[in-house]
Amino acid sequence: MTYTAAEKILKAHHREGDFLKGKEIGITIDQTLTQDATGTMVYLQYEAMNIPRVKTELSVSYVDHNTLQNDYRNMDDHRFLQSAAAKFGIYFSRPGNGICHQVHLERFGRPGKTLLGSDSHTPTGGGLGMIAIGAGGLDVAVAMAGAPFYLTYPKIIGVKLTGKLGRMCSAKDVILTVLKLETVKGGVGKIYEYFGPGVKSLTVPERATITNMGAELGATTSLFPSDEVTKAFLELQGRGNQWEEVKADEGAVYDKIIEIDLSKVEPMAACPHMPDIVVPVSELAGKPLQQVAIGSCTNSSLDDLGVAADILAGKTIAQGVSLGISPGSKQTLSAAMKNGIIEKLVDAGARILESACGPCIGMGFAPSSGGVSLRTFNRNFKGRSGTADAQVYLVSPETAAASALMGAITDPRDIKGVERKDYLAYTEIKDNMIIPPFDEKEAAKVEIVRGPNIKPCPTAKAVADNLTANVLLKTEDNITTDHIMPAGSKILPLRSNIPEISKHVFEAVDPDFPQKALAAGEGIIIGGENYGQGSSREHAALAPMYLGIKAVIVKSFARIHKANLINFGILPLTFSDPADYDKLEEGVSLSFGNLPDQLKAGREVTATLVGGSGDGTSMVFLHDMEERLLSVVLAGGLLNFTRQSSGQ
């Protein structure tokens, strides 16, 4: 049996399920990462499991998203994260140390390992030859507790690279070319594995640019082999001893192969408002622009800043353009200062921003209204830049710098006499902004610091033997997670405060719902078709769970929301006879008898209607949970289940 590089790593970490294409497999997670926007809830969930120290080889908590301080809340979050890291045995990367993916690549990623991160661009780590997957916060919390991560054995798409990139053509242009071919939906359920003779011509940060934007394909992850280039990168990082070779077996079989001749790749741009609306830069040449931003987890390495600086050296950016640079990490920024890159950039008129996500999430460097902004980032969805009607193009650092100089979109090959250089050799290591995990004795003394906005994560009780609960709400078809748990700037800061955020559940459908539910103690929601469609937000299950919802009975579910209900101990049931939907009204009750026994016995659950015109009649509901998910829901959710499985 031969395996691809991705399959070899999966196999080495395989823990549960049949190791067969299309089947669910559970894999051991070696490393985790969180960022601050998702991290507070991850550590609250981890805390609720009552497991004193993380069981991963290595876990890191980064602060890179909400670094701007408009009021006390971000700073409160940072203090909470720092103290939680100290308590649970986690590395803490302080604000200012850089963007999680860039820092992880530099200081922690290891070939052959698995990494799970509560951020969708975690696949950046695939540039080092690891399986690095972005997941929901709860998945990361349970992985830290030592539980497997479950995924469907993905299809493996081989991307064969031949040739060598031409002058002023870059890794960003390669991934934009792949996006043009595969589209933003093309990668679902797939791993993109790069191989072939062209691989060795790409540095690790270039490879990481490519795997980073595999997230835009919707892929499970992307990876490169780990070879001599990887070894040299790790040696520069003082981590040469962590290198191991990762490569596909001779004759490994891919589900599909895409071939890219690097010498034919030309500068590309993703046009508003999707990363897969990709055209050659030459087609856009001459289009005026107002803003250029270089940075983000996609393109903020030393070489990226270096090539931009060399294009701009001794010149001044166009009068109508504002140029912002956010270096990916403190390591990058320090090296860029010491070898003249920052000097060249500042001399040319660039504004140096924090080593953080910043403009990528619309913070601190929004385009002008209706303005054209060229960004080296990975996403250009409408409004993400902070300006609703801005036109954002995604390009390489070469294209960004050339265009900032000319004041219009410019093919960087038109700038003569400049080449991408190897600045990585200037790497210097100083980890003084990374706080290592406390030892157990020190950790025991740590009190977790909670500002007024951080409340413990609630958990559900195990499913009761005799459940009788009121129907608290009956909804129509196509209820979205926005209906259940609204988003928006008013709600977002409450993400770590479930009692407070739950006051907004079903706000636009029935504003009295939260009060009614809390007063009832236990309740049921009835819904129509496609219940829970839309965003995958966990809070649409977590907040109803806090309000005492025990079951949601609908005609049909959206897939991710159903999984979230199970994760938070809420029973997802469907009508055996959809006509029963009409018999259930708010105010009636359903009495389930011995529910755990019924659930274990088969796919049907019978309940007796109490009250209303059908009083005393029985109804049959269905579930489709296999053994593992059934155990999760019976335990009252994934947190309880993991706590019990680990004997806490």
- Binding residues (CB under 6 A) for ligand F3S: these are 65, 99-101, 119, 121, 296-297, 357, 360-361, 378
Closest approach, Cβ 128 to ligand F3S, in A, equals 17
| Contact criterion met (CB below 8 Å) for 531 and 561 | yes
Of the pair 177, 355, the CB lying nearest ligand F3S is at 355
Q: Please give the DSSP secondary-structure letter assigned to residue 117.
A: E
Shortest gap between Cβ of 325 and ligand F3S (angstroms)?
13
Contact assessment for residue 6 and residue 214, using Cβ atoms and an 8 Å cutoff: no
Name which of 100 and 318 has its Cβ closer to ligand F3S. 100
User: What 3-state class would DSSP assign to 453?
Assistant: coil
Task: Between 102 and 574, name the residue whose CB sits nearer to ligand F3S.
Answer: 102
Measured from the CB of residue 531, what is the shortest distance to ligand F3S in angstroms?
30
Task: Tell me how far, at minimum, the Cβ of 378 lies from ligand F3S, in Å.
Answer: 5
| Cβ distance to ligand F3S smaller for residue 100 or 460 | 100
Q: Of these residues, 36, 64, 304, 411, which one is catalytic?
A: 64
Residue 119 or 173: the one with the smaller Cβ distance to ligand F3S is: 119
Picking from 422, 333, 353, the residue whose alpha carbon sits closest to that of residue 103 is 333
> Which helix (H) or strand (E) covers residue 608, if one does?
strand 604-610
Q: Let me know: does 332 contact 295? Beta carbons within 8 Å.
A: no
The distance of closest approach from Cβ of residue 295 to ligand F3S in the complex, given in angstroms and rounded to an integer, is 7
Catalytic residue among 77, 119, 173, 310: 119
Residue 197 Cα distances to 161, 201, 230, 232, angstroms? 6, 8, 15, 18
535 is catalytic: yes
Sheet containing 221-223: order of strands: 221-223, 190-195, 155-162, 256-261
139 carries an active-site annotation: no
The answer to whether 87 touches 443, Cβ cutoff 8 Å, is: yes
Pull the structure tokens for residue 14.
């395989």
What is the closest distance, in whole angstroms, from the C-beta atom of residue 355 to ligand F3S in the complex?
Answer: 11
CB of 327 to ligand F3S, least distance (A): 12
Q: Is 559 a catalytic residue?
A: no
Indicate the residue type of 455.
K
Instruction: Give the rounded distance of the alpha carbon of 109 from its chain centre.
Output: 16
Q: Which is nearer to ligand F3S, 393 or 621 (CB)?
A: 393
Smaller CB distance to ligand F3S: residue 222 or 459?
222
| Rounded distance between C-alpha atoms, residue 490 and residue 215, angstroms | 28
Residue 453 · residue 339 · CB < 8 Å: no
Nearest to 293 by CA among 363, 196, 220, 217: 363
65 noted as active-site residue: yes
**Among residues 83, 120, 368, 535, which one is catalytic?**
535
What is the SS3 assignment for 10?
helix
* DSSP label of 376: S
Residue written as token pair 């157990």: 440
Question: CB-wise, 161 or 361, nearer to ligand F3S?
Answer: 361
Per DSSP, the residues of 435-452 read EPPPPHHHHHHPPPP--T
Q: Which DSSP string do the residues of 306-322 spell out, in sequence order?
A: HHHHHHHTT----TT-E
Residue whose CB is less far from ligand F3S, 101 or 561: 101
Phi first, then psi: what are they for 194, rounded to 5°? -90, 140
In whole angstroms, the minimum distance from the beta carbon of 588 to ligand F3S comes to 46
CA distance 502 to 508: 13
Q: How far is the CB of 136 from ligand F3S (least distance, A)?
A: 16
Q: HSE-up of 452 (CA within 13 Å, CB side)? A: 2
Please identify every residue annotated as catalytic: 64-65, 119, 379, 535, 537
